[in-house]
Amino acid sequence: MSRHQTVLILDFGSQFTQLIARRVREQRVYCEILPFNAPLADIAARRPSALILSGGPASVTQDDAPRLTAGLLGLGVPVLGICYGLQAMTQALGGRVARSASREYGRAHVQVDDAADLLADLDEARVQVWMSHGDHVETPAPGFEVLARSQDGVIAAVADRARRLFGVQFHPEVVHTPRGERMLRNFLFRISDLRGDWTPAGFVDEAIARIRAQVGDARVVCGLSGGVDSAVAAMLIHRAIGAQQTCVFVDNGLLRAGEADQVIEIFKDRFHFNLVHIDARETFLSALSGVSDPEQKRKIIGRVFVEVFEEIAAGIPDARFLAQGTLYPDVIESVSVRGPAAVIKSHHNVGGLPERMKLSICEPLRELFKDEVRIAGLELGLPDALVWRQPFPGPGLAIRILGEITAERLEIVRAADLIVQEEIAAAGLTRTLWQAFAVLLPVRTVGVMGDDRTYESVLAIRAVTSVDGMTADWYPLPTEVLGRLSTRIINEVAGVNRVVYDISSKPPATIEWE
């Protein structure tokens, strides 16, 4: 990424840190997230054009609170501190931060007193913002002037224009700050004088060059699942090194209807990949027999996949790299300051294989968010139907069947899922929704079909909207769509006599049921 200007975002633990990064990238500016305590040498080596200090849950008044890295503000680049980032900067430069008499959380309004640079072109002097803080800047650091105050008189924005240091007490990155995008644009372009010339499409050429430099004349083994991430990663590597890549597609029997045929048609027949197709359906089904616990299912699927994949990959001569579709959120979470909960899920990657097979990792997508991966996929010529395919869990349909996995239950949920996809597409909602799918419940209910009493299974329909899957809102499907789904599933899927709709958001629920 050396050809592009880079904004570094230092993460102090805010729930919005990834959102800051997304907002910056939406302005065609490349950015990376580093932990707040990244060594100054590492920060300087990236030659950042600007720095953003994120918010965070701590109080700068505590002895063990996260501090700014010594020398950070002496790099001579523009800095924007957001909430905790403002407070940490203020404290480091000799200002005073105090506990607030009452915590400000939620929508608020601030009065803009100085509408130059950071707060320029907001169209009005009183603007809505989103607050989330228990501390506030009581006395700005020497050299800073106040740009705005909240309705309660709390300092809401400050600037030291001589050193290009700015800070806001609110969160400009969230939608609840309607003029927040303008403020970020002001920081990126008015203050930092950035070009805004980075795009996911431009990323493709750079990624191909990096892959060639990393791999040389070695061979790469890629686990191709048929999902968007592995497909785009495999396509990038194919463009870079062609036949030096061998893709291994393991049909575990837990895939969507027609998925195995689609993978073979696209990658082997259309793009002429070196593709090895393994039919392991019976192996997986046998290993999952009698298992109902969701975590045990995940572990079994992961273990069996490693065993099958390892056996095939071991026969590929001179294989020195394993390709994985790791995305930027996975990378961020692995270095998060927020504690042990922020860990990459084991099923995202081919767990254990690199060490067991002594392979190096090739992760060409590790700098991209999901929506950016889709743009790169389109740039690479992958078909729309694959690029816009909704996320699908690593363990497949196994975690959309609550309880034991059997061939019969797999056919039920697979047939129902196909109907869901068809009706969502017919309603023009495929790109509106993050995911829509069916879940087979371990519940049987009484029904009447024809003149007969039935005692059959219940299916739940789930449809959510999301940006990156970290949070999600249930989607109010039109009643006519729900009606068609229910009618078709009950009439066309043997073994189901009742359909229900899930209206839970994430949090507190998860997107998947298991």
- Positions marked active-site: 83, 171, 173
Of the candidates 173, 256, 222, the one whose C-alpha atom is nearest the C-alpha of residue 325 is 222
Distance CA 313, CA 247 (A): 9
Placement of tokens 């195995």 in the chain: 260
What letter does residue 266 receive in the DSSP assignment?
I
Tokens read off for 318: 């001179």
Q: Residues with Cβ < 8 Å from 19, sequence gap 6 or more?
A: 173, 174
Angle at 275 between CA 384 and CA 389, to 5 degrees: 20
Run of H or E including 250: strand 245-251
Of the candidates 75, 71, 63, the one whose C-alpha atom is nearest the C-alpha of residue 92 is 71
- Give yes or no for a contact between 66 and 337, defined as CB atoms under 8 angstroms apart: yes
Distance CA 160, CA 79 (A): 10
Distance CA 79, CA 143 (A): 14
Cα dihedral: 58, 12, 192, 50 (round 10): 140
Classify residue 329 by burial, with Cβ atoms within 10 Å: 0-12, 13-18, 19+. Answer: buried
Of the candidates 189, 210, 211, 238, the one whose C-alpha atom is nearest the C-alpha of residue 2 is 210
For the chain, the straight-line distance linking the first and the last C-alpha, in angstroms and rounded, comes to 38
Is-cis flag, bond preceding 142, omega within 30?
A: no
Strands across the sheet containing 126-139: 30-35, 6-11, 50-53, 79-82, 165-168, 155-160, 145-150, 96-112, 126-139
